[in-house]
């Protein structure tokens, strides 16, 4: 399964939905249809298989189901930036990373590495560092909750 491609497809749906003010599941259906159509003339060089589409679908649906909680968590961890001030690329890479952490049993370090790669590929010059810094806070926050057994307030 091409996990990288699945993340890119899910990111594309989140990004397009945010930019267009559209429902993410509606946008996902369009992205999915386009990806399947492109399979006849592949540009990625990777096979688009059922597992890749299923993972992308899971990630998009996980974000859609937990969007409010994901945004609340991010807002508590991002210092000095509102969502309106942030790069939409960075914001949606972060959202996707948190959705992945909630939906899959993937080590935090892997989620961070994959998110940083997405940010570097699609974002600006500082996107990778920004995403890495925010997700490091996410991991510390999760470790704090795990150590105390109860949720704690995000660190400032």
What CATH number corresponds to the domain at position 117? 1.10.940.10
- Alpha helices in the chain, H assignment, sequence order: 3-20, 24-38, 50-77, 88-103, 108-122, 127-148
Does 154 map to a domain? Answer: no
Rounded to whole angstroms, the Cα distance separating 38 from 36 reads 5
Does residue 56 form part of some domain?
A: yes
Over range 71-86, report the average pLDDT: 88
DSSP structural state of residue 125? T
Range of the domain at 33: 3-148
Instruction: Output the CA angle 146-148-151, nearest 5 degrees.
Output: 70
| pTM summary value | 0.85
Higher per-residue pLDDT: 128 or 144:
128
Closest residue by Cα to residue 53 from 90, 11, 21, 6 = 6
Segment 54-66 shows an average pLDDT of: 97
Q: Does 28 reside within a domain?
A: yes
Counted domains in the chain: 1
């Amino acid at each position: 399964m091409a996990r990288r491609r699945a993340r890119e497809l899910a990111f594309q749906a989140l990004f397009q939905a945010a930019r267009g003010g559209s429902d993410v599941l509606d946008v996902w259906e369009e992205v999915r249809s386009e990806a399947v159509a492109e399979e006849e003339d592949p540009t990625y060089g990777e096979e688009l298989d059922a597992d890749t589409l299923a993972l992308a679908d899971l990630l998009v649906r996980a974000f859609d189901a937990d969007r409010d909680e994901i945004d609340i968590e991010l807002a508590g961890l991002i210092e000095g930036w509102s969502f309106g001030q942030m790069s939409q690329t960075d914001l949606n890479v972060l959202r996707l990373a948190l959705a992945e952490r909630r939906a899959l049993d993937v080590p935090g370090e892997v989620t961070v590495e994959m998110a940083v790669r997405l940010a570097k590929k699609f974002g600006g010059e500082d996107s990778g560092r920004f995403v890495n810094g925010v997700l490091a806070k996410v991991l510390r926050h999760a470790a704090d909750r795990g150590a105390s057994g109860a949720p704690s307030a995000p660190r400032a």
